[in-house]
Amino acid sequence: MSVYLKVPKFKNPLLSVEIDETPSKKIAFSPYEVSFEQIKEGKHKINITAYGNRINAFGAVHNNMEGFLWFGPSAWREYGDAWSYEYCLKPMGILQKPQLYMEIKTDPLS
């Protein structure tokens, strides 16, 4: 049996996926999918590890300009419309449920 796991929407630099004790496979680029071959039928445990970055810890967390893509000295403002007393954290993690597909191959001669 082949198992395919697709994570259509996430905001992380890297996802790591493993089934049971198999070596982990990485998701970072399109099509955001990994496959595991020769999985036996039955119950299995799928682990997804989402690796983050430090933007919500050390970034300009009081800058409320959502489209602000470049972070330099001007990102840490203390005045004007770009400043917010509340924390303005960036979305991070798996933002849409993963999709699991299975392909069961049967022997046509049996």
Per-residue pLDDT of 2-22, as tens digits, reads 999 999 999 999 999 999 988
Q: What is the pTM of this model?
A: 0.77
Domain-located, residue 108 = no
Domain-located, residue 110 = no
The Cα–Cα gap between 39 and 10 comes to 26
Domain-located, residue 73 = yes
Domain-located, residue 61 = yes
Domain-located, residue 74 = yes
Domain-located, residue 19 = yes
**Domain coverage including residue 97:** 2-103
Q: What is the pLDDT of residues 32-89, one digit of tens each?
A: 999 999 888 889 999 999 999 888 888 888 888 887 777 788 788 777 888 889 999 9
Whether the Cβ atoms of residue 92 and residue 15 lie closer than 8 Å to each other: no
| Count of structural domains, the chain | 1
pLDDT score of 107: 64
Domain-located, residue 109 = no
